[in-house]
Amino acid sequence: MSPAPPSFTLAPVLALALAACTAPDCAPGTTPGIVTTLFFGLSRQNQPDVPEAAWRDFLERDLLGQLPGATVVEGLGAVREPGKAPVTERSRVVTIGHRGNPEQRQALAEAIGRYRSRFDQWGVGRADVGACTNFD
């Protein structure tokens, strides 16, 4: 199990996130949508890191099944709990452009839940930003 999340006040973060999710003024040929960025840590407490084959299986089966596609970047994530030294871990940063309909939002929430459960993670970072999109 990964370490417990650091404590902080969510109000300013939530206000910023909600403001970013408002529909932008879009150019011709594009429509309002959402760009979601997900941050998946690969370390597990008292277990080896999430194996590459297991990560790919999750990505293909659990995450992309209901979504139009994604870009995945390898990363190095860091978490700092109050009073403790920063902890770094290998990570995957997944960016998904989508329409933001209820089915897609639900698919994202379910995929995050499956990742947390399957790989014993305390959380998955998520940032949603309103954007003009074109999926043609």
- Predicted TM-score of the model (pTM): 0.77
Structural domain contains residue 23:
no
Domain count, the chain: 1
Residue 1 lies in a domain: no
> Which residues of 2-124 form beta strands (DSSP E)?
31-41, 71-79, 87-98
Does residue 110 belong to any structural domain of this protein? yes
Tell me the sheet residues that pair with 128: 36
Q: Which two tokens stand for residue 67?
A: 């979504």
Q: Give residue 85's pLDDT.
A: 85
- Give domain status of residue 83, yes or no: yes
Q: Kindly state whether residue 3 falls inside one of the protein's structural domains.
A: no
In a domain, 21, yes or no: no
Domain that holds residue 59: 31-133
Question: For position 23, what pLDDT does the model report?
Answer: 56
Is the residue at 9 inside a domain?
Answer: no
How far from the centroid of its chain's Cα atoms is residue 34's Cα? Answer: 13
Whether residue 36 has pLDDT greater than 90? yes
In a domain, 14, yes or no: no
The CATH number of residue 103's host domain is 3.30.70.120
Q: pLDDT digit string (tens) for 82-103? A: 787 888 999 999 999 998 889 9
Higher-scoring residue by pLDDT: 82, 32: 32
Checking if the pLDDT of 131 tops 60, the result is yes
Average pLDDT, the chain: 83
Whole-number pLDDT of residue 22: 55
